[in-house]
Amino acid sequence: MIKIVNLHKTFIKDGNRIEVLKGLDLTVARGESLAILGVSGAGKSTFIHILGTLDRPTSGSVLFEDIDVFKWNEFQLAEFRNRKIGFVFQFHHLLPEFNSLENVMMPALIGGAAKQEARKRAEIVLNEVGLSDRMAHKPGELSGGEQQRVAVARALMMEPDVLLADEPTGNLDTETGGRIEDILINLNRDKGITLIVVTHNHKLAQRLSRSIGLRDGKIYSL
């Protein structure tokens, strides 16, 4: 489903050239669950941002179903991102002035859906993550785990083919993080969503179908 070929990413900082990703090659099958492990600064977040088309590589290719997405313009990339990829980050990035339902509706509204249609779909996905009784609550009225579950629901709003999670439990206690892990793993198993998770958590990685490591900008086998 996803094929990464000779992927490089370089930044220029204070006049110095910093090569963060150094010729990565990776294939991810449809419906697979993949953990990406590595220490801070290894390039994991940069890598997943490129996978999600939030950032462009310096060179190399990212192919989704044999289409090199970085040959598209920014409008095409934004449309692809909205319809095909769901994101869950360590910090939920919910809009504080909107309630749970409104936050979850947002991707569909941005994608041009009618408000009533977006509302109906948002109610379904919030129920799927166990928040049917918290739809009217704003982020500041929710616990950390509830906020992250709203973020998961938002990521599912457009029924994505791929769910990218960057340290999704890194800001949560062990019990709450375990609930988020269960939700993500069940989505992969029950809905066939391809799941790619950046994590420091080896116990979470062991629950996924495959793990790779990232060190000094290169992939290594675990």
177-200 residue pLDDT tens: 888 888 888 889 888 999 999 988
Query: Which ranges in 23-165 belong to alpha helices (H)?
Result: 44-51, 74-84, 100-110, 115-128, 144-156
Q: 182 versus 170: which is more confidently predicted?
A: 182
CA distance readout (Å), 187 to 58, 134, 207, 214: 33, 21, 13, 25
Determine the pLDDT at residue 118: 93
Rg (CA), the chain: 17
User: What is the arithmetic mean of pLDDT over 210-218?
Assistant: 90
Strand order across the beta sheet in which 33-37 lies: 85-89, 162-166, 194-198, 33-37, 210-215, 218-221
3-state DSSP assignment of residue 141 = helix
What are the beta bridge partners of residue 212?
A: 36, 221
On average, the pLDDT of the chain sits at 89
Selection from 169, 164, 221 nearest residue 197 by Cα: 164
User: What is the arithmetic mean of pLDDT over 67-95?
Assistant: 88
Determine the pLDDT at residue 7: 94
pLDDT tens digit sequence for 16-59 = 888 899 999 999 999 999 999 987 778 888 999 999 999 999 99
Give the residue numbers spanning the domain of 141.
2-221
pLDDT tens digit sequence for 113-134 = 899 999 999 999 898 888 999 9
Indicate which CATH number applies to the domain containing 89.
3.40.50.300
Confidence of residue 97 (pLDDT cuts 50, 70, 90): very high
pLDDT at 222 over 70: no
Determine the pLDDT at residue 217: 87
Tokens representing residue 22 in the block = 């150094």
Determine the pLDDT at residue 166: 87
pLDDT tens digit sequence for 146-166 = 998 899 899 888 888 999 998
Length of the chain: 222
Number of domains forming the structure of the chain? 1
Give the C-alpha separation, 180 to 203, whole Å: 13
Selection from 219, 221, 215 nearest residue 41 by Cα: 215
Q: 159 versus 172: which is more confidently predicted?
A: 159
Determine the pLDDT at residue 150: 92
pLDDT at 92 over 70: yes
pLDDT above 70 coverage of the chain, percent: 100
Determine the pLDDT at residue 197: 93
Residues 6+ apart with CB under 8 A from 185: 33, 195, 207, 208
pLDDT at 91 over 80: no
